[in-house]
Amino acid sequence: MPFFFYDPTFIILIPGFLLALYAQWRVQSTFNYYSGIRASNGYTGAQMAAELLRRQGITDVTIEQVGGRLADHYDPRTKKLRLSPDVYASDSLAAVGVAAHETGHALQHRDGYAPLALRSAIVPAATLGTNAAWLLFLLGAVTGMARLMDVGIILFLGYVVFSLITLPVEFNASHRAVAVLQGQACGRSSTRRRSPMSRPRRWPS
């Protein structure tokens, strides 16, 4: 029985695989770097999200903590803004930035931003496709069934294309969040010790 044979379609898979690895590395390294810098306003990610929602008059979005690293997302179906532990309770610049970005998606939802609705509708199928892609590819490699490998590669490339198409949605969410932050002069970083007069207000637990 063939075992991990070479197939010309590997050439199609490798660029997408390397691109996915690079993107993941960039996100992780950038988040880790800014996790060491405190936001001068002293807000945690959850507090920052709540503040931005309040400023925009959004009262029907719930903020909750979700397990996983960088599993942060906004669910328009339930109007829940879910933040990972490293974001929800942290007052780092990384946490504030991620929370603000996810809040940007809530602003998109409020304004009826059509690309967000399209993205939300496709996400379940895209996630299922990328999970099945690796399973089919490995199964095909082990059994020597080239057709299975081809299907896995097509599903994976479909997810890559989906990610590229939805990039404008992510950029727009960040743009909306930055506009609110700049308008209110929030989110600046500082490494200096704050004086008692500059302490942030207390938030209810």
Confidence band, pLDDT 50/70/90 cuts, at residue 150:
confident
For residue 89, the 8-state DSSP code is S
Please state, as a whole number, how many other Cβ atoms lie within 10 Å of the Cβ of residue 106: 27
Question: Is 170 known to be catalytic?
Answer: no
Q: Considering the candidates 51, 64, 102, 170, report the single residue annotated as catalytic.
A: 102
Confidence band, pLDDT 50/70/90 cuts, at residue 187:
very low
- Digit-coded pLDDT (tens) for 117-149: 888 888 877 777 777 887 887 787 778 787 887
Confidence band, pLDDT 50/70/90 cuts, at residue 198:
very low
Pairing of strands 80-83, 73-75: antiparallel
Backbone phi and psi for residue 42, each to the nearest 5 degrees, phi listed first: 75, 5
Cα separation, 34 vs 172, whole angstroms: 21
Contacts of range 12-19, beta carbons closer than 8 Å, 24 or more positions apart:
12/153, 12/157, 13/137, 13/153, 13/156, 13/157, 16/156, 16/157, 16/160, 17/156, 19/160
∠ CA 160-166-171, nearest 5°, is 125
- Residue 192, SS3? coil
Question: What's the whole-model pTM score?
Answer: 0.72
Cα separation, 85 vs 88, whole angstroms: 5
